[in-house]
Amino acid sequence: MAQTTSWNWIIAPDVGNLTKLAVLNLMHNNITGSIPPEVGNLSNLSKLLLNGNKLTGQLPPELGYLSELELLQIDENNISGPIPSTFQSLNKTRHFHMNNNSLNGSIPPELGRLGSLIHLLLDNNDLSGELPPELSNISTLYVMQLDNNYFSGSIPPSYFTIPELAKLSFRNCNLTGSIPDLSSLNELKYLDLSRNNLSGQLPSKIPESITTIDLSYNQLNGVIPEAFYSLTSLELLILRNNLLDGNFTGSELQHNGFINASSLLILDIQHNNITGFTTGALLQLSNVTLRLFGNPVCSESLAPQSVCTDFSGSYSNISFPETVISLSNDCSSANTCDTSRNSEVLYGLLLHSGACQCAYPLIVGYRLQSPAFAIFQPYVDQFQKYLSNKLEFDIYQVNVSSFKWQPGPRLAMKLKLFPNKSTKQFTQAEVDKIYTKFATSDIDYDEVFGPYELLYFSLGFPYNVSRPFSGRRKSLSSGVIAGIVVGSVIFIILLAMAAMHIITKYGAYYGAIYKAAPRQKKCIKVAGVKDFTFKEMIKATNNFDKSTQVGQGGYGKVYKGILADGTVVAIKRAEKESLQGDKAFYTEIEMLSRVHHRNLVSLIGYCDDECEQMLVYEFMEGGTLHDHLKLNSKQPLDFSTRVQIALGSAKGILYLHTEADPPIFHRDIKSSNILLDANRRAKVADFGLSKLAPTGDEGGYVSTVVKGTPGYLDPEYFLTQKLTDKSDVYSFGVVLLELLTGMQPITGGKNLVREVNLAHKAGMLLSIVDHRMSPYLADSLQPLVHLAISCCKDEADSRPSMAEAVQELESIWQQMHPGQSATTSETFTSTVSDAKSNKGLTYNYPYISSDIEGVGLVSGIVPDVGPR
Closest CA to 461 of 429, 433, 426: 426
Distance CA 795, CA 636 (A): 33
268 catalytic per annotation:
no
Helix axes 639-658, 725-741, angle to 10 degrees: 170
20 labelled ligand-binding: no
List of residues 6+ apart from 531 with CB closer than 8 A? 525, 605, 606, 607, 608
Distance CA 98, CA 145 (A): 10
Helix (H, G, I), strand (E, B) or coil at 732: helix
List 75, 147, 609, 668, catalytic entry: 668
Backbone angles phi, psi at 41, to 5 degrees: -85, -10
Please name the residue ranges forming H helices in 412-515.
428-439, 490-506
CB contact burial 324-338 (16+ within 10 A = b; e otherwise) = ebbbbbebeeeeebe
Identify whether the C-beta of residue 16 lies closer than 8 Å to the C-beta of residue 703: no
Q: Cα 271 vs. chain centroid, distance in angstroms? A: 51
CB contact burial 247-275 (16+ within 10 A = b; e otherwise) = ebbbebbbeeebbeeebebbbbbbbbebe
Distance CA 737, CA 868 (A): 13
List of residues 6+ apart from 349 with CB closer than 8 A? 328, 331, 356, 357, 358, 359, 396, 418, 421
Identify whether the C-beta of residue 850 lies closer than 8 Å to the C-beta of residue 766: yes
Q: Tell me the residue type at 214.
A: D
Closest CA to 463 of 573, 341, 586, 614: 341
Identify whether the C-beta of residue 717 lies closer than 8 Å to the C-beta of residue 492: no
Distance CA 167, CA 410 (A): 14
Helices and strands: H and E segment counts in the chain = 15, 44
Closest CA to 753 of 716, 794, 705: 794
Name the CA radius of gyration of the chain, rounded.
Answer: 35
Task: Write the burial class of residue 284 (CB in 10 Å: 0-12 exposed, 13-18 middle, 19+ buried).
Answer: exposed
Strand partners, 454: 366
Q: Cα 118 vs. chain centroid, distance in angstroms? A: 21
Q: How far is CA 574 from CA 554, 556, 577, in A?
A: 9, 5, 8
Distance CA 70, CA 61 (A): 17
Identify whether the C-beta of residue 108 lies closer than 8 Å to the C-beta of residue 83: yes
Q: Which residues make up each annotated binding site for ATP?
A: 572
* Catalytic (active-site) positions: 668
Q: Which residues make up each annotated binding site?
A: 572
